[in-house]
Structure 1
Amino acid sequence: MQLTFASYNIHKGVGTDRRRDPERIMAVLREIDADVIALQEADERFGERASVLSRGLLDDSPWRVVPVARRPRSIGWHGNALLVRRHMDVVHGEALELPTLEPRGAACGEIVHEGVPFRVIGTHLDLSGLRRRDQIRSLLAYLARTRDVPTVIMGDFNQWGHASGAMREFGKGWQMIAPGASFPSRRPIARLDRIVASKQWRNGKADVHRTALAAVASDHLPISASLTLPDK
């Protein structure tokens, strides 16, 4: 089973031209054409935490939302949302709390595809770095309490070093995928966006999605990775 996973901080739909354009974000997602997508900053920060991407846009897309929202107009949790292909079976969706000095969380989904279960978590870690280690430890503790299935964790980790700092918390059982600089989108210099895969996955091609549209749609470029579960 081979799937393409993508992570994209959509900056609440506001591009580098300071225009809020959800349709432009959706056009970038169609360019990537991933099977599973983790979005960050997908909901407005205040008020009803309404989704940046309208239900109409999502209904006309190849993906559906993994249900983690705790507010009726939201598609995520603290801005983290998960999209999966419509033909995939979503067994469970859950909003995860993370230790924080500022609003942070994670969206978790259990998916079955071609009869194979797997788990995906989308998150946006602490900007200051003060609680980043604690947040990763919290995610790993959650996984330790749940059934052991192939897992992918992805998002904006706000971590500059590829395998240093808070990333050391993952240990040897995890594969770190940081395909390249993705921030800021016009002239990227930082690998803040990551995909971390459990040992069951075989890592294939990983990429930063650099197109003219992506360079202006958000302040981050999307990243993607092709992952395969070998036959048993």
Structure 2
Amino acid sequence: MYATRLICVTWNIHRARGHDGLVDPSRIHGAVTSDLAPLAPDIFALQEADEECRPHAGLLDMNRISAETGLAYQHDAPGMRWGRDSDGFLGTILFLHPRFNVTHSDVLDLPGHCYRGAVVIEAVCDGIPVRVISTHLSLFQPLRVIQMRIVGQYLRRRPEMQNILLGDLNEWRPWGGAMFQHRLIGRSLSGPVRATFPAKRPLLPLDRILTDREGAVRDMQVCTSRALRSASDHLPLKAEVLIEKSGE
């Protein structure tokens, strides 16, 4: 039995570089205001939201995004950021609705040629424990398998609760590939598949919103508008995730 629902939005903003090649954070802010904040998300995940090179400095105004969406920025603690100049952990940034009572937060280093990581927030929402994991995985399938294995090993050490995994998982195959095998991560993750890349003509479902409760991801939509298509090479993905009562 499901007790509550969460509106989730994830977007790889491509370091604010639009299809014209120009880096323009104001376009990201404008698209958040005009297209994403009205969706009233409970969970808002960004990827590639810090600069690529050291010191991985921030690109956006976190206070402005919080004000526009009504969501709380989850990286105030230094340990939740890659460095003092960063807004997130290797470009991954999470915002949560104030009704989330955060009980534990963590970051995971994931191996690869390019820096990769995951942000983990455990919280009680409407009286129900839930874990939110946002990440940006490798372009190379064998590395994605290793990265998801590390996420699975981490989950085995943590208390049992429903998991929501969202972000740019870089898996182009609709069926998901080896990285989603139950034996690899210790649980089955599922959700509808929608193409989000490239933004001008989406062909590949690189961005995902998944949970480990079958059939609990609903109303999956790719968010599209002129503002969103011009701001990044990915389109945002939005879905409703139903949260199961503890112990049911």
TM (norm. structure 1) is 0.91
Q: Find the residue that maps to 2:148 and give its secondary structure.
A: helix
Q: What is the CA–CA distance in structure 2 between the aligned matches of 1:187 and 1:70, rounded to whole Å?
A: 33
Cα offset, 1:195, TM superposition: 1.5
Q: Tell me whether 101-110 or 59-68 shows the greater mean CA deviation.
A: 59-68
1:16 is matched with which residue?
19
Q: Find the residue that maps to 1:23 and give its secondary structure.
A: helix
Instruction: Tell me: CA distance 1:230–1:120, structure 2 relative to 1, closer, same or farther (3 Å).
Output: closer
For structure 2, which runs of at least 5 residues remain unmatched after alignment? Answer: none
Q: Which of 173, 177, 201 in structure 2 is aligned with 1:165?
A: 177
- C-alpha RMSD of matched pairs (Å): 2.1
- 1:73 paired to 2:122: no
1:52 is matched with which residue?
59
Q: Find the residue that maps to 2:7 and give its secondary structure.
A: strand
Q: Is the 8 A contact 1:176 1:194 kept in 2?
A: no
Q: Find the residue that maps to 1:42 and give its secondary structure.
A: coil
Residue identity opposite 1:181 in structure 2 = A
Instruction: Tell me: CA distance 1:210–1:179, structure 2 relative to 1, closer, same or farther (3 Å).
Output: farther
Q: How many residues align?
A: 232
Residue identity opposite 1:182 in structure 2 = T
- 1:2 paired to 2:5: yes
- 1:214 paired to 2:228: yes
Q: Deviation above 6 Å: which 4+ runs of structure 1?
A: none
1:194 is matched with which residue?
208
Q: Tell me whether 171-180 or 47-56 shows the greater mean CA deviation.
A: 171-180
Instruction: Tell me: CA distance 1:147–1:160, structure 2 relative to 1, closer, same or farther (3 Å).
Output: same
Instruction: Tell me: CA distance 1:129–1:179, structure 2 relative to 1, closer, same or farther (3 Å).
Output: closer
1:96 is matched with which residue?
108
Q: Is the 8 A contact 1:175 1:198 kept in 2?
A: yes
Q: Is the 8 A contact 2:94 2:134 kept in 1?
A: yes
1:153 is matched with which residue?
165
For structure 1, which runs of at least 5 residues remain unmatched after alignment? Answer: none
Q: What is the CA–CA distance in structure 1 between the aligned matches of 2:182 and 2:209, rounded to whole Å?
A: 12
Cα offset, 1:45, TM superposition: 1.6
Q: What is the CA–CA distance in structure 1 between the aligned matches of 2:85 and 2:215, rounded to whole Å?
A: 34
Cα offset, 1:209, TM superposition: 0.7
1:79-130 CA distances to partner (integer Å, 9 max, x unpaired)?
1111112343222221101122321111111122222221111111111223
Q: Which of 38, 55, 63 in structure 1 is aligned with 2:45?
A: 38
Instruction: Tell me: CA distance 1:150–1:80, structure 2 relative to 1, closer, same or farther (3 Å).
Output: same
Q: What is the CA–CA distance in structure 1 between the aligned matches of 2:168 and 2:146, rounded to whole Å?
A: 16
Instruction: Tell me: CA distance 1:88–1:168, structure 2 relative to 1, closer, same or farther (3 Å).
Output: closer
